[in-house]
Structure 1
Amino acid sequence: MEPSVAVVGPGAIGTTVAAALHEAGRTPRICGRTARERLHLQGAAGRIVVPGPVRTEPAQAGGAVDVVFLAVKATQVEQAAPWLTALCGADTVVCVLQNGVEQGSLVAPHVPDARVIPSVVWFPAQARPDGSVWLRGTARLTLPDTPASRVACEALRGTWCSVELATDFLSVAWRKLLQNAVAGLMVLTGRRAGMFARTDIAELALAYLRECLAVARADGAMLGDEVPHEIVDGLRSGPADLGTSILADREAGRPLEWDTRNGVVLRRGRAHGIPTPISDLLVPLLAAASDGPG
């Protein structure tokens, strides 16, 4: 029997996962803040329409499911907590499709009886002004190699969203965090990935990534010296108009995931006694851009 599935947060990431499930004949329950009759995803293979409706009240949840894909941002977990209460039972697996390396500690207090697993999301999906989502690459997730993760794998089995299990998930998660952290520079400039073609920005990005790398290693991640260059080279060789979710939030005037993506480097650096001079400057600026005042 196939697992029952709900997607909480039908934004860019949630819509992508919902579309993959729907295409495989396993349309999930969709839960969010805004009532919509259907979701739309535009990918390389064409347009996918996922039937709704999007449920907007936890009372409409329909009971516990086997797997919840939680696709809200770290700043929205408190708001999503009533959905987790309504959808989770003792055997539910909550797969957190969220940035950062602290997903478990952030979500677990809201679902004490469920099994929470973090993930690393490796696909560029962008929300469009009309509410549709543009998937600009292949959909792929990395999960820790645990029994709970295998339940989430089973939910996505046979879909075009591939899942890989990592024995050293910590290193994978920190690798992605470095990529997310350097994207904070886009917020402060109001520019997209094309800005990394500038030599001065590329050099600043490399210096910041080396700082992040030192913290990641102190935290237990096994990452090589080549990682900063790989990340910057990827940004420089990709589409110049490629954005990031934290830039989209800044442009829309929404709260930013500055603590999850950048503040964590500063906090963990201090805990390990590692100097983080770039973070000392960058993090307050991102926090002010997010939370003000002014």
Structure 2
Amino acid sequence: MSVSPRIAVVGPGAIGTTVAAALHETGRTPLLCGRTPREGLELDGPTGRIAVPGPVRTDPASVDGPLDLVFLAVKATQVPAAAPWLTSLCGPDTVVCVLQNGVEQEEIVSARVAARAVVPSVVWFPAQAQPDGSVWLRAEARLTLPDLPAARPIGEALHGSLCSIELAADFTSLAWRKLLQNAAAGLMALTGRRAGMYRRADVGALTLAYLRECLAIARAEGARLGDEVPQEILDGFRAMPADLGTSILADREAGRPLEWDIRNGVIARKGRARGIPTPISEVVVPLLAATSDE
């Protein structure tokens, strides 16, 4: 990557705003690309408010590409709509970092971009959009990337920023662990409740049973996760502030399509492919799909 890389963030929502602010505070202000024109972005984090200058571009044809590095921060359901941005921003030397949920990031994005590399990530921070359009970063920002040469430019771009980078030799296991957490968070979208609900004994028992079902699929897909992981994830939910939500709940509350397939449907799909029963998924997934339709 060049000494002064050209960087873009596609999708200036909660996650995209956090990464854009991290880049801006270290002097690597990115090009902002999205659906809605805005003068800039604002992040409220542990060190105060960071204002990222815009504007947010809305026309892919107005961008002079290709760029060195693109952070794709749209939801998996929005990738088709973001395809024109990928066409304008990416070239044979571009690295695309996918800031999405799921374990199928490379597969989904690679089919739509002509880039040097598509690098998946695991996002470990709670960022929430606020009514005034700003974003509230409620905890430390951290990204995990596979320990591959293509991930190095991403680490360099975010070095010294509010968003720390970890390179994982066993990225598969970490990605599946995060997927288990996201799958269990899907129960929030079904109930319309926040993290406090996991403190109920009955919801806790259901969550544990569901996570053990997901764990069996994760292991079949090559993840090295111990028997303790389901309880650790449930304990994590119970330790969260009772009012903390998740992106899939926010989408339900806003009437947007849900990422049910890449967070929950994937468990049932891969279970069927491997002949592993997933009885809880067979109930949860159709209900989430119906909720998304509504």
TM superposition score normalised by structure 1: 0.98
2:272 to 264, 267, 270: 270
C-alpha contact 1:2 1:155 (8 A) present in aligned 2: no
Aligned residues: 292
Structure 2 residue runs of 5 or longer lacking an equivalent are: none
* Contact residue 124 and residue 135 of structure 1 kept, 8 A: yes
For residues 191-206 of structure 1, the aligned pairs below 5 Å read 191-206=193-208
Q: Quick one: which of 95, 98, 101 aligns to 2:97? A: 95
Pairwise mapping of residues 1-294 of structure 1 onto structure 2 (< 5 A)? 1-292=3-294
Q: Deviations over 1:168-226 (max 9, x none)?
A: 11000000000000001001110000000100000100000000000000000000011
In percent, how many aligned pairs have the same letter? 73
Quick one: distance in 2 between partners of 1:3 and 1:220? 35
Instruction: Output one character per residue of 1:133-190: Cα deviation in whole Å (capped at 9) or x when no partner.
Output: 0000000000011111111111111212111111111000000000000001001110
Question: 1:3·1:154 contact (CA, 8 Å) conserved in 2?
Answer: no
- TM-superposed CA distance for 1:62, in Å, is 2.1
User: Counterparts of 2:36 and 2:186 in 1: how far apart (Å)?
Assistant: 28
C-alpha separation between the residues in 1 aligned to 2:100 and 2:49?
Answer: 25
Q: Write the deviation string for residues 111-154 of structure 1: whole angstroms up to 9, x where unpaired.
A: 13431010000000001121110000000000011111111111
CA deviation profile, 1:20-41 (whole Å, cap 9, x unmatched): 1111111100000000001011
In the alignment, structure 1 segments of 5+ residues that lack a partner are none
Paired letter, 2:292: S
CA distance in 1, matches of 2:279, 2:54: 48
Letter of the 1:28 counterpart: P
The Cα shift of 1:4 comes to 1.7
Other structure's SS at 1:110 match: coil
Shift of 1:3: 2.2
- Poorly superposed stretches of 4+, deviation over 2 Å: none
CA distance in 2, matches of 1:112, 1:211: 37
- Residues 222-249 of structure 1: per-residue CA shift (max 9 Å, x gap): 0001110111001101100000000000
1:95 and 1:278 map into 2 onto residues whose CA distance is 33
The AA in structure 1 aligned to 2:100 is Q
Q: Is the 8 Å Cα contact of residues 95 and 115 (structure 2) preserved in structure 1?
A: no
Question: 2: CA distance between counterparts of 1:82 and 1:246?
Answer: 25
- Give secondary structure in 2 for the equivalent of 1:72: coil
Give the AA of the match of 1:68: V
RMSD over aligned Cα atoms = 0.8
Separation of aligned partners in 1, 2:64 and 2:184: 40
**What secondary structure does 1:225 align onto?**
coil
